[in-house]
Amino acid sequence: MRGARALAASWPVAETLWWEAPMAQLGPSGRPLSAEPASFQEAVRTLNTLQTNANYLEQVKRQRGDPQTQLEAMKLYLARSGLQVEDLDQLNIIHITGTKGKGSTCAFAERILRSYGLKTGFFSSPHLVQVRERIRINGQPISPELFTKYFWRLYHRLDETKDDSSCVSMPSYFRFLTLMAFHVFLQEKVDLAVMEVGIGGAYDCTNIIRKPVVCGVSSLGIDHTGLLGDTMEKIAWQKGGIFKCGVPAFTVPQPDAPLAVLRDRAQEISCPLYLCPPLEALEEGGPPLTLGLEGEHQRSNAALALQLTHCWLQQKGHQDIGELKTSRPSLLGQLPLAPVFQPTSRMRHGLRDTEWLGRTQVLRRGPLTWYLDGAHTTSSMQACVRWFRQALHRRERPSSGSEVRVLLFNSTGDRDSAALLKLLQPCQFDYAVFCPNLTEMSSADNADQQNFTVTLDQVLLRCLAHQQHWSHLQEEQASPGLWSTPSSEPGGPTSLLLAPHPPHTHSTSSLVFSCITHALQWISQGRDPVWQPPSPPRSLLAHPVAGSGAIVLHEAAAIHVLVTGSLHLVGGVLKLLEPSLSQ
């Protein structure tokens, strides 16, 4: 690990120079490729100007005013865009919040209702590869042409009505996309819209919705503490802010204290709140349900999605909604239990056919298996680790040769990366690789991946901090004489290859790369049959750990790579490994 620490001091410095002077690639016309006509890309670049500058963002955090005022501002933006909050009632909205699983719940719900032949709208965040993923119709991101049309129509309308002298400004990035989603769904005449909350609930800009058909709260946990509070109770209060008078709401089992907060929030405004029974209760008397998303934790999300869609169909007068079973008493007397019903064949098909990229996703590519999960809270990371270890347990082992496990990790914002990394220790990785959420060292030609809310120095320093946390965790586990153990690989660190390890003796070599492309080049060693990048720069193997590790990875019979810690990291990896997502 001493060598890995030396890397922390030298590796990113050399690669930073590439960022400062990116080489422009020339297109057929002799102009830089970025200069080729691309109205969609121009729209995305203009959208990116609405991102908040990193330094200004810090100032805003220090001077944050009344959150309710921000919600009122969103209503004014809506009015300037040509809509009133009453217009949103036409969208028959399912509004979903939570800390973990809210996106997966939305995906399940959208797919179930699409299986009923309904035209669905789906607004989510963040995007993984292209920003248009955030606004979907019938499960598909809106086309570049549609995105471009609606973007400029809204942008010009808001730009014409701004007044810098009276602080009537352009909305920020997320607000703009929320407004755009409302316009797209109304103009494209969807039958319903599934709206995922961005952050929190009470003061999230999606919460200008007055009359959703139904609301849902997925599993709660600790996240975005700077905005939502540092306890589960405070976070539950924020999430319960999406409840509306007379609008049915559903939640999954939660710890007692935050569940009580949700119950009180609902009672205050006469919102009927129900607790979802477990999926097993709905499976009784019928075949087991097959989910399109892997992981035991997805069963909770599927149970919530079934209740939300069952309620929506019931409210809208649909007949095929499943036969009710005997109702059960509530748990702990806190909330009434939601109805137990027999899922219909269309509900079953919807659950089975659900896709949600970057969440418990597996890509098998020759000797490489990529496990992608955007877990970024302690509770979601625990679920990710369970899923990954179960997947490894079920794997088909090679008849000969070694297996190598690699962690590719990054974490952003105010999240406790040390706590997340500690949860990953039981996976016994042979290498831990850290890099920023940047596919390339210059994102100038990649508008979808641009992020102006952080500086390059900040993201690199964060990666080095991750590496230091990992090193400390390794030292805590190691026995005093571990570092003097002879290496099993010439010139390489101890215990690189997978084998049954005695407890507390598995050591991991760690590396920091300046972008995702370099990290994947080193991990894959040209062995991914789909992703065949140009030869990596020689500097990638300059460090002894990188050099010896490259030999091990090149010769391994199987390489298992877990990509986690950040949905943005997962998105950058998917952009490279699945080129079709960029088309």
HEC sequence for 51-76: CCCHHHHHHHHHCCCCHHHHHHHHHH
Q: Which of 291, 325, 356 is the last residue of a domain?
A: 356
The confidence score (pLDDT) of residue 471 equals 93
Query: Residues 173, 212: one domain?
Result: no
* 80 and 110 fall within a common domain: no
The reported pLDDT for the residue numbered 21 is 26
Among residues 356, 383, 414, the one where a domain terminates is 356
Token reading at 415? 């999240």
Residue 548 lies in a domain: yes
Task: Please tell me whether residues 525 and 569 are part of one structural domain.
Answer: yes
**CATH number of the domain encompassing residue 282:** 3.40.1190.10
Same domain, 276 and 161: no
Q: Is residue 247 part of a domain?
A: yes
Residue 567: inside a domain, yes or no? yes
Domain that holds residue 458: 358-582
- The verdict on 150 and 242 lying in the same domain is no
Binding residues: 125, 196, 224, 359, 373
Report yes or no on 499 lying in a domain.
yes
- Residue list for the binding site for Mg(2+): 125, 196, 224
Q: Is residue 26 part of a domain?
A: no
538 shares a domain with 408: yes
Contact 447, 48 (CB under 8 A): yes
**Residues with Cβ < 8 Å from 192, sequence gap 6 or more?**
91, 92, 93, 94, 113, 118, 119, 120, 121, 213, 312
The burial class, CB within 10 Å (0-12 / 13-18 / 19+), for 545 is: buried
* 420 and 347 co-located in one domain: no
Distance, CA of 127 to CA of 320 (rounded, Å): 34
Enclosing H/E stretch for 215 = strand 214-217
Same-domain pairing of 306 and 350? yes
Sheet holding 214-217, edge to edge: 140-141, 135-137, 120-123, 192-196, 93-97, 214-217, 249-251, 273-275
Domain boundary among 130, 163, 190: 190
pLDDT at 322: 80
Helix (H), strand (E) at residue 370? strand 368-372
Known binding-site positions for ATP: 359, 373
CA distance 395 to 391: 6
407 and 278 within one domain: no
Are 506 and 409 contained in the same domain? yes
Count of structural domains within the chain = 3
Please give the distance of CA 128 from its chain centroid, rounded to a whole number.
Answer: 7
Q: Are 276 and 308 contacting, i.e. CB atoms less than 8 angstroms apart? A: no
Question: The CATH number of the domain where 551 resides is what?
Answer: 3.90.190.20
Residue 78 lies in a domain: yes
Cβ atoms of 377 and 357 within 8 Å: the answer is: no
Examine residue 126 and say whether the peptide bond preceding it is cis (omega within 30 degrees of 0): yes
What pLDDT score does 311 carry? 97
Residue 459 lies in a domain: yes
Residue with tokens 């806190």: 334
pLDDT score for 34: 39
- Three-state secondary structure readout of 426-491: HHCCCEEEECCCCCCCCCCCCHHHCCCCCCHHHHHHHHHHHHHHHHHHHHHHCCCCHHHCCCCCCC
Query: What is the chain's pLDDT, residue by residue, as a tens digit (583 residues)?
Result: 333 333 333 333 223 222 222 333 333 333 333 333 348 999 999 999 998 655 444 544 544 557 788 899 999 999 999 999 999 999 999 999 999 999 999 999 999 999 999 999 999 999 999 999 999 999 999 999 999 999 999 999 999 998 876 666 899 999 999 999 999 999 999 999 999 999 889 999 999 999 999 999 999 987 666 667 769 999 999 999 999 999 999 999 999 999 999 999 999 999 999 999 999 999 998 899 999 999 999 999 999 999 999 999 999 999 888 878 765 555 555 799 999 999 999 999 999 999 999 999 999 999 999 999 999 989 899 999 999 999 999 888 888 889 999 999 999 887 899 999 999 999 999 999 999 999 987 655 566 656 656 678 889 999 999 999 999 998 887 754 433 333 333 333 332 333 333 344 456 899 999 999 999 999 999 999 999 988 777 777 778 889 999 999 999 999 999 999 999 999 999 999 999 998 7
Name beta bridge partners: 193: 93, 121
Instruction: Return all residues near 34 (Cβ < 8 A) that are at least 6 apart.
Output: 24, 444, 445
**Could you tell me if residue 274 is inside a domain?**
yes
Q: Are residues 152 and 251 in the same domain?
A: no
Task: Indicate whether 341 and 369 sit together in one domain.
Answer: no
